[in-house]
Each structure stands twice: as C-alpha cells, then as structure tokens.
C-alpha cells in the first residue's frame, strides 16, 4: 500500500519502496552499522552495499502511519543495543520528517557482525 494524500492541487503518493530506501539510508548512517543484511543464506548474513538500500528493510505503510523492520549487520566491537537504539531513532526521525507519516514502530534485527580483518583478507586474495 502506498501513502496517498489529496490537496487542492492533486494527489501525492509515496510508494513503500521509497519509505524503505529512506529507512535503509537512515540505518546505514548510524555509526557501528556495517550495512543492511540480505538475509541468512546458508547461515551466513549477506552484507548488502549502498545500492540495495531498500533490501534488508520491510515496511508497512498505512494512510497516516508506518512500521519498519530493519535487518542489519553491526561492526565488531560496538555496543549492539546502543547501535540498535540509535538506528530506531534515526529511522523514525527520517521517515517522519521526509514523509509526514507517524512511525509506530521500528524493529531492528541484528543478523550478523562484520569483522575488519575480513576486508583485508579479501583485498589480499584479489591482488
């Protein structure tokens, strides 16, 4: 369902995917978030790049309210509850300010932890 509002000038529709992209971008802005998770494929959380911001996000949009589920991967060594709370706050603020919707809940699902040495090992293999 899309958010739709009517004014004297016409109708405005905001697609669910737009709300999902806003939520994904707001989540990845939080320090300690390595990225969005594409789900657990074979028990391994897939780290998605910035091109797939609406993936790893599930939104339900009504006429005036929205709810979001975010599937994230955190950086190793961060305080996960702290990062998750900041994600909730940032996502709620972004959706409400950009769409005018009231966000009733933001559920954060931590799907994995990103270790810094993984990048170094990948760089070595590529060369």
Give the three-class secondary structure for 68: strand
Task: State which residues form the domain around 118.
Answer: 3-126
pLDDT at 83 over 90: yes
Confidence of residue 22 (pLDDT cuts 50, 70, 90): very high
Task: State the total domains in the chain.
Answer: 1
3-state secondary structure 7-39: ECCEEEEECHHHHHHHHHHHHHCCCCEEEEEEE
Q: Which residue has the higher pLDDT, 52 or 7?
A: 7
Task: Classify the phi-psi angles of 84: left when phi > 0, otherwise alpha if psi is within -120 to 50, otherwise beta.
Answer: alpha
pLDDT for position 10: 85
Kindly report the CATH number assigned to the domain that includes residue 66: 3.30.70.1350
Confidence of residue 11 (pLDDT cuts 50, 70, 90): confident
**Which residues are within 8 A (CB) of 42 and not within 5 positions of it... i.e. 6 or more apart?**
none
Task: Count the Cβ atoms, other than its own, within 10 Å of residue 2.
Answer: 13
pLDDT digits (tens, 9 = 90+) for 43-68: 455 665 555 667 889 999 988 999 99
30 close to 86: Cβ distance less than 8 angstroms? yes
pLDDT for position 51: 57
Spatial separation of the C-alpha atoms in residues 74 and 4, rounded to whole Å? 34
Q: What is the mean pLDDT of residues 14-31?
A: 93
Spatial separation of the C-alpha atoms in residues 34 and 75, rounded to whole Å? 5
């Amino acid at each position: 369902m899309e958010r739709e509002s009517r004014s004297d000038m016409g109708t405005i529709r905001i697609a669910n995917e737009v709300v999902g992209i806003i939520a994904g971008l707001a989540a990845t802005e939080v320090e300690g978030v390595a990225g969005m998770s594409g789900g657990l494929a074979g028990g391994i959380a897939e780290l998605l790049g910035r091109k797939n911001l609406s993936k790893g996000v599930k939104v339900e949009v009504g006429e005036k309210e929205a709810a979001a589920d975010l599937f994230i991967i955190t950086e190793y060594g961060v305080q996960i509850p702290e990062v998750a709370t900041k994600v909730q706050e940032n996502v709620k603020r972004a959706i409400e300010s950009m769409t005018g919707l009231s966000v009733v809940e933001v559920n954060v699902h931590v799907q994995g932890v990103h270790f810094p040495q993984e990048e170094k090992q990948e760089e070595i293999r590529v060369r």
